[in-house]
Amino acid sequence: MRLLVLLLLLAVEAVWAHAGMQLHGTDDFSTAEQQKLKVWLEQSFNATNQVLGPYPFLTEVYLSRRTASEPVPWAYTQRMDKQQVFFQVDSSFDLTEFQQDWTAAHEFSHLALPLLDREDLWFAEGFASFMQYQVLKQQQQLAEAPAFWYQQKLQPLAPLLTASTLPFITQLKLWLKQRNYKAAYWGSALFFIEADQVLIRQGSSLPQLIQKYQRQNRLTDQNLNQLTNSLDALLDTPVFAPLLLKYQQQTSQQLWRQHPVYFVSIDKAAE
């Protein structure tokens, strides 16, 4: 038995020894551009690991050049046998503009959770949308608290949220099918805003819980059910299974009018 425990510990240590970030595709950029992009990515990756990790795996980052009206016009994760993040960048933007961009914080946050089934994309995107401002806060790139930015993103969605009588998660999936990504992603973030507030009342927070999760079942969970079970197992009182059931059953209209963000929006409108 002791030998088995020792072998498991050695296996875990071996995985963590190979954690970190590896950068690819820099040869297509000048020396000055390489330095700027490396600083930006390392700062974002390190901040993400401080908020959510450290991650128990190597993160492989791939860069390619693209002329655009913003520093990072496109990015995505790819996770089969490796944990990979792909960024298309316009290197004509300066370092400050890259640092203030939310994309790297969003994509690196995705890696904190296992790759979920396509039908649970709402959960993955809501999580990354919520966490991007937690990471930018860690980087000291926000002029206001994350709650301010959540409010800014959600307020334009209020008419859609109040008009829908579909179960909330059903509505999120419909928005994804319709490619209304802004509504789907930020509507999904409501789940994590509420989860974080529940955890804070319990003396913790969502980022703190995810940090614990990295050393538990991050490398073994393969679907949403396993993920939520693992998260709840780290708590004295389950949060995720009850909250998931609530969001599956209540309509978008009902949930929005009960949500803490809704009452904040009313208070601001009355000022």
Note the pLDDT tens digit of each residue in 148-162: 999 999 999 999 999
Q: Which residues of the chain have pLDDT under 50?
A: 1-17, 266-267, 269-271
Q: What is the pLDDT of residue 9?
A: 37
Q: What is the pLDDT of residue 91?
A: 98
Q: What is the pLDDT of residue 237?
A: 97
Q: What is the pLDDT of residue 84?
A: 98
Q: What is the pLDDT of residue 10?
A: 40
Q: What is the pLDDT of residue 18?
A: 57
Helix axes 168-177, 181-201, angle to 10 degrees: 150
Q: What is the pLDDT of residue 263?
A: 54
Q: What is the pLDDT of residue 36?
A: 98
